[in-house]
Amino acid sequence: MSFDIVFNYILKRSGIGCGAGLEGFRELLERLGNPQNQYKIIHVAGTNGKGSVSAMLARTLECAGYKTGLFVSPHLLSPTERIQINGKPISKQRFSQAVIAVFQEEEEELNFFEILTAAALLYFAKQQVQYVVLETGMGGRKDPTNVCNPVLSLITSIGLDHMQYLGSSLSQIAYEKAGIIKPGVPVISGTVNPAAREVIRKTAKEKKAPLLFVEEGEPFYEYAYDFVNNQTVLHTRDYQEWILHALGRRQTINACVTYQAAKNLNLPEEAVRQGLETVRLPGRFEVAQSGGNTFILDGAHNPQAVELLMDFWQKTPFTHDTALLCGFMKDKDYKKMLALLCPNFTQIILTVPPSARGAEQVELFAALPKKAKVRFEPDWKKALMLAKESPRVLCTGSFYLVGAVRGKLRL
């Protein structure tokens, strides 16, 4: 069965709330031979930063000499990006084989994310990886990835996202994310909100799980941005200089979390340095040149991420003559995101991401700040052409849109 047929079939099972649930998923894995028990797992949850930390840590493990699996979401160009070994996405053929193997053991109808999670866990076992960095999909407590028994749990940040599923307060959302904490398993968190921290602290205490909150400055206390080479220069307290091939204050904090995670796993410091210096984070304040235009691609898709993006934006050389190209998912708080984005741009182009969940014109215009002047073009390809009239373009609001634009630019 071809890859396109397989993926389009599982895509039809994308509804949130359906699926086998944790118990049914656990039983499925038993029928598959419990592949999740055949390697060491680092489990990663968080509102923002979990994808970046997962990529940083997977690259560090690879640099330390381990055959490392990485499971992340969403993808930018191809769903094969979600399942990687040593930085290489699964082939389309093996993707299809893994999914079909899951279907052969299916008793309860699985949802989209359950299928992908099971396929990834099975593929990693068959490829005999040593470590897997496993990113949650949404939340943590009820997430299918939560059937694993990790050697380390990471919680990157807590913000208001997926509130219709996870709760309306930071404490409620923190409770869901903290659901990945296992008895006796160390926890490292980059969470800064006091209410969210208290929930994580309480859960870790109940589970007798050693807990470390990573503060900015541990170990990187100073940083400078190199916009020419698109990198951040980090400094440790003993004046060592490290290079991170990513931009943004949040990425510095993510680097601190990665460093502490690697330290917990007893990885050589040189592997951590090499991992941070060589990791690539597509769609995370990615600056690229194409056809005479400068593109800044950032998949900020919730208010917390957009707020961090706009705070960093003021520190960049891109604040003038830049068009904003943005689109959002219907289930996101695009009203708050537009309120954060619009005051910083004079040319704003709204479009619809290439997804059935993309927010349309009526919804977006009802959410616009009163004084905002925007152009709406539902076809994202035509919207991209409009944005190219400016020398620089910031594309944000949805990973679906960022991925589509990135593919069109052939980056």
Q: How confident is the model at residue 214 (pLDDT cuts 50, 70, 90)?
A: very high
Q: How far apart are CA 73 and CA 94, in angstroms?
A: 18
What does the alpha-carbon distance between residue 71 and residue 82 come to, in Å, rounded to a whole number?
5
Look at residue 319 and tell me whether its pLDDT is greater than 70: yes
- CB 75, CB 81: distance < 8 Å: yes
Q: Tell me, what's the pLDDT at 160?
A: 61
For residue range 366-377, list pLDDT tens digits in order.
Answer: 889 887 889 999
pLDDT of residue 166: 57
Beta bridge mates, 40: 131
173-198 burial, b at 16+ Cβ within 10 Å, e below that, comes to: bbbbbbbbbbeebbbbbbbebeebbe
Judge contact between 348 and 326, C-beta under 8 A.
Answer: yes
pLDDT band at residue 168 under the 50/70/90 scheme: low
Can you list the pairs that 384-387 forms with residues at least 24 positions away whose Cβ atoms lie under 8 Å? 384/325, 384/408, 386/323, 386/349, 387/323, 387/325, 387/347, 387/349
With a cut of 90, say whether residue 97 has pLDDT above it: yes
Domains parsed from the chain with CATH numbers: 3-220+246-278 (3.40.1190.10), 286-409 (3.90.190.20)
Neighbours of 203 (CB within 10 A): 21
As a whole number, the mean pLDDT across the chain is 92
The contacts found for 11-16 with CB under 8 angstroms, 24 or more apart, are 11/112, 13/109, 13/110, 13/111, 13/112, 13/115, 14/111, 14/112, 15/111, 15/112, 16/111, 16/138, 16/165
Closest CA to 33 of 165, 125, 131: 125
Q: What is the pLDDT of residue 386?
A: 96
Q: What is the pLDDT of residues 293-318, one digit of tens each?
A: 999 999 999 999 999 999 999 999 99
**pLDDT confidence tier of residue 161, bands split at 50, 70 and 90:** low
Q: Is 135 helix (H, G, I), strand (E, B) or coil?
A: strand
Confidence (pLDDT) at 316: 94
Confidence of residue 162 (pLDDT cuts 50, 70, 90): very low
Place of tokens 């592949």: 35
Residue 112's pLDDT band, with cuts at 50, 70 and 90, is very high
Residues across the chain: 411
pLDDT the model gives residue 89? 98
CA 229 from centre of chain: 23
- The conformation of residue 325, written as its DSSP 8-state character, comes to E
Query: Is-contact 104 166, C-beta < 8 A?
Result: no
Tokens 């990790």 found at: 150
State what percent of residues in the chain have pLDDT above 70: 97
| Residue 42 host element (H or E) | strand 40-45
